[in-house]
C-alpha cells in the first residue's frame, strides 16, 4: 500500500487540492475475492469496492477482470501453489 500521496502537477502551491483523506489510497495486489467481506465489510454486493480494486457484477460474480485485483479462490490457490514451487526452486546464494 502506498504510504505517500501521488505527485500532482500544479502551477502554484495555492492550487494544491484539499486533502483527499484515506480514500485516496487503494492497496494493490492479488486477493482472494471470497475473503473480501473479511477485509472490507462495507464492500458493495455489486460495483467497485471502495477499499480494494474489486468489481462485482449484479449477479455477484467477479467482473472487469482486466482492471481488478481479485481472483477466484481456485485462481488464488493456483497462484499460491505456483509461488511455492518457484520459491522451492530458487537458487541458493542469491
What is the C-alpha separation between 37 and 45, in angstroms, rounded?
10
20 lies in a domain?
no
Structural contact between residues 55 and 70, judged by C-beta atoms closer than 8 angstroms: yes
6: pLDDT confidence band, cut at 50, 70 and 90? low
73 lies in a domain?
yes
91: pLDDT confidence band, cut at 50, 70 and 90? confident
Cell of 9: 502537477
57 lies in a domain?
yes
50 lies in a domain?
yes
18 lies in a domain?
no
Query: What's the whole-model pTM score?
Result: 0.67
Q: Residues near 19 by Cβ (< 8 Å), separated by ≥ 6? A: none
5 lies in a domain?
no
83 lies in a domain?
yes
More confident residue, 82 or 8: 82
55 lies in a domain?
yes
| Residues pairing with 48 in the sheet | 55
Give the count of domains, the chain. Answer: 1
Computed from CA positions of residues 84, 2, 69, 34, in that sequence, does the dihedral angle turn out positive or negative? positive
What tens digit of pLDDT does each residue of 11-67 get?
A: 887 776 666 555 556 778 899 999 999 988 899 999 999 888 999 999 989 999 889
| Domain enclosing residue 52, as ranges | 34-88
pLDDT for 63 equals 93
Amino acid at each position: 500500500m502506498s504510504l505517500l500521496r501521488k505527485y500532482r502537477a500544479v502551477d502554484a502551491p495555492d492550487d494544491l487540492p484539499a486533502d483527499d483523506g484515506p480514500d485516496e489510497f487503494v492497496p494493490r495486489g492479488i486477493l482472494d475475492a471470497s475473503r473480501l467481506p473479511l477485509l472490507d465489510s462495507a464492500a458493495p454486493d455489486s460495483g467497485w469496492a471502495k477499499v480494494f480494486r474489486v468489481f462485482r457484477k449484479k449477479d455477484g460474480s467477479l467482473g472487469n477482470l482486466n482492471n481488478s485485483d481479485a481472483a477466484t479462490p481456485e485462481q488464488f490457490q493456483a497462484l499460491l501453489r505456483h509461488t511455492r514451487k518457484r520459491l522451492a526452486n530458487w537458487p541458493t546464494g542469491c
